[in-house]
Amino acid sequence: MSKESFKVKVGLAEMLKGGVIMDVTNLEQAKIAEDAGAVSVMALERIPSDIRKDGGVARMSNPHMIKEIQDNVSIPVMAKCRIGHFAEAQILEALEVDFIDESEVLTTADEHAHVDKHPFKVPFVCGARDLGEALRRINEGAALIRTKGEAGSGNIVEAVRHMKMITSQIIELQDADLSKKAEEFRVPLDLVEEVAKNQKLTVPNFAAGGIATPADASLMMQLGAETVFVGSGIFKSDDPSERAHAIVKAVTHFKSAKDVLAASYDLKNAMKGILMSDIPEDEKFSNRGD
Amino acid sequence: MIGVLALQGNFDSHIKILKKINLKHKLVKTSNDLISINGLIIPGGESTTMTNLLRKNPSLVDGINSLAKNKPILGSCAGLILMSKESNDSRVHNFAFLDVITSRNAYGRQVHSFESRINVKDGSMKSDIEVLFIRAPKIDKINNDVEVLATYKEEVVAVRQGKHIGISCHPELLNETLIHEICFKGKHEVS
């Protein structure tokens, strides 16, 4: 795939900046999300908190459900494939979803390799906990990086950890031996050099995993995220539509505490959330994929 | 000083272009941010999202309307849709700075997005520039007083009416400065 086509993929990620991407499980939720000002919806059968609760193997969503949403909203529609499951990705591309999330929220299909994303026309977003992971995904062809956070937890702590880790590791590149870093990250030197020089990933950098309130969204934006994904946080709350509107407003005006306050003022209860210490290590979504 | 509407969208790539042509910029999120600017960019992004945020802020809409009376406005992609008099989606706000009818996502979903060259013509100046069409709209109808500024194949992809310019694609994502120069440094020079 040529450099030009890669720019077309990153181009859509650029359009999504300063916005909120919302997980939705049916058409009704997709319409609520669009009406509230979502820049995109992620169509999936079960939101992460339910995947966590239900157990079993989590796969790509039923194409029929994705298609129904595509046919009825005008904003871009994303869908998830399992890590390494390139056949699911091919199906999602044939369905013409606008972005594929190769996601740790679904059960891993290949423990040794992610999807080779270069041959695809559809852009991919991938999760990362640190700079090495982000660069490996970009090197495989990801057009957008998001923090992994801990999906379905309603707990922002992991997204904060991952965003700060990536940011600090980019700063550290200024005084580092870049060849050693490239070796450590298992990516080509020129990619590391470009990130060191621009002090920025080569693709947009969004936040995901555990965002439940306007304040969480503002926090992630202030930490350097360019857009936020909200998964379980909206439709597991007591007031999905109001909360969706509020988080959209908080992202646009993230620097203005008064606006974030106004957005937060009349909301009911957020999702309950889970402490990281209550999730066994082997059940953490963020440990999937490297 | 040029304002860049920063409710949502690719405002930072437009800022990069303004820096490249030595124009100062300011992010615009509220009506107060419109003070002392000499022009405005409405970037690409999602027109439904921007409409939603504009409707929550009537003073910003009023401010942009009065700015447009004597200062140039440049809209790309979603910005073009918002600037048009009418679009095929009644949910989207129309500032009506350009007497054109637009249709959203007219080339299809993201897998149909593409890179191409467009032909720009401004008076005796002719130039080809590189652009990206990202889930781009089309300009279906042009009314009186609207000039064609650029074409792709036979289609009109950029128009000008008075000081205002609307373009359906993204020169700014490929570091092309020409359209911004025409809008803010051309016939209607600003500082």
What 3-state DSSP class applies to B99? strand
What digits encode the pLDDT tens for the residues B121-157?
Answer: 998 899 999 999 999 999 999 998 999 999 999 999 9
Average pLDDT for B56-65: 97
B170, closest residue in chain A (CA to CA): A11
Note whether A72 contacts B: Cβ–Cβ < 8 A: no
Distant-in-sequence contacts of B58-64, Cβ < 8 A, 24+ apart:
B59/B30, B59/B31, B60/B28, B60/B29, B60/B30, B60/B31, B60/B34, B61/B93, B61/B95, B62/B31, B63/B31, B63/B34, B64/B5, B64/B34, B64/B40, B64/B95
B13 interaction partners in chain A (CB closer than 8 Å) = 14
- Position A49 scores a pLDDT of 87
Average pLDDT over residues B105-113: 97
* B137 contact residues in A (CB cutoff 8 A): none
Q: Is the pLDDT of residue A198 over 50?
A: yes
Active-site residue flag, B77: yes
Quick one: DSSP state of residue B44? Answer: S
Here the ipTM equals: 0.95
Best mutation target among A5, A14, A117, A256 (most B Cβ atoms within 10 Å) is: A14
Closest CB to B8 among A18, A36, A122: A18
Residues in a beta bridge with B160: B147, B165
Of B25, B93, B169, B172, which residue is the catalytic one?
A: B172
Kindly indicate the confidence band of residue A53, based on its pLDDT and cuts at 50, 70 and 90: confident
Q: Is the pLDDT of residue B189 over 50?
A: no
Average pLDDT over residues B37-66: 97
pLDDT score recorded for residue B171: 98
Q: Which of A123, A245, A248 is closest, CB to CB, to B110?
A: A123
Q: What is the mean pLDDT of residues B171-186?
A: 96
| CB burial of residue A171 (10 Å; 0-12, 13-18, 19+) | exposed
Q: B170, B176, B180, B183: which one is catalytic?
A: B170
Pairing relation of β-strands A144-147 and A124-128? Answer: parallel
CB contact under 8 A, A15 and B10: yes
Residue A120's closest CA among A105, A98, A148, A135? A98
Residues of chain A in contact with residue B172, where contact means CB-CB under 8 angstroms, are none
- Using DSSP's 3-state secondary structure scheme, residue A173 falls into helix
Burial of B77 (0-12, 13-18, 19+ CB in 10 A): buried
Nearest to A8 among B7, B105, B114 (CB): B114
pLDDT at B33: 97
Do B173 and A5 count as a contact with CB atoms less than 8 A apart? Answer: no
Q: Residue B61 burial by CB count (10 A; 0-12/13-18/19+): exposed, middle or buried?
A: middle
Residue whose entry in the numeric block shows the structure tokens 């007031």? A239
Q: Where are the alpha helices (DSSP H) in A173-213?
A: 178-185, 189-198
Catalytic one among A3, A31, A67, A80?
A80
Q: Which of B70, B178, B175, B171 is nearest to B122 (CA)?
A: B178
Cα A136 versus chain centre, distance: 16
Q: Which pLDDT score, from 0 to 100, does residue B191 have? A: 44
**Would you tell me which residues 237-266 of chain A have a C-beta closer than 8 angstroms to some C-beta of chain B?**
245, 248-249, 251-253, 256
pLDDT at B148: 97
User: Model confidence over A227-286: pLDDT tens digits?
Assistant: 999 988 999 899 999 999 999 999 999 999 999 999 999 898 888 899 999 999 989 999
pLDDT of B190 over the 70 cut: no
**Does residue A181 register a pLDDT over 70?**
yes
For residue B114, what is the nearest residue in chain A, using CA coordinates? Answer: A8
Query: Please, is A179 exposed, middle or buried when counting C-beta atoms within 10 Å of its C-beta (0-12, 13-18, 19+)?
Result: exposed
More confident residue, A3 or A211: A211
Whether A75 has a pLDDT exceeding 50, the answer reads yes
- pLDDT of A61 higher than 60: yes
pLDDT band with cut points at 50, 70 and 90 for residue A3? low
Angle between helices A257-264 and A214-222 (to 10 degrees): 160
Q: Measured between alpha carbons, how far is A79 from B58 in angstroms, rounded to an integer?
A: 35
CA distance B108 to chain A (A): 9
Name which of A9, A37, A40, A3 is nearest A22 in CA terms: A40
| Partner B contacted by A273 (CB < 8 A) | no
pLDDT single digits (tens) A94-114:
999 999 999 999 999 999 999
Tokens found for residue B109: 């979903």
pLDDT digits (tens, 9 = 90+) for A112-170: 999 999 999 999 999 999 999 999 999 999 999 999 999 999 999 999 999 999 999 99
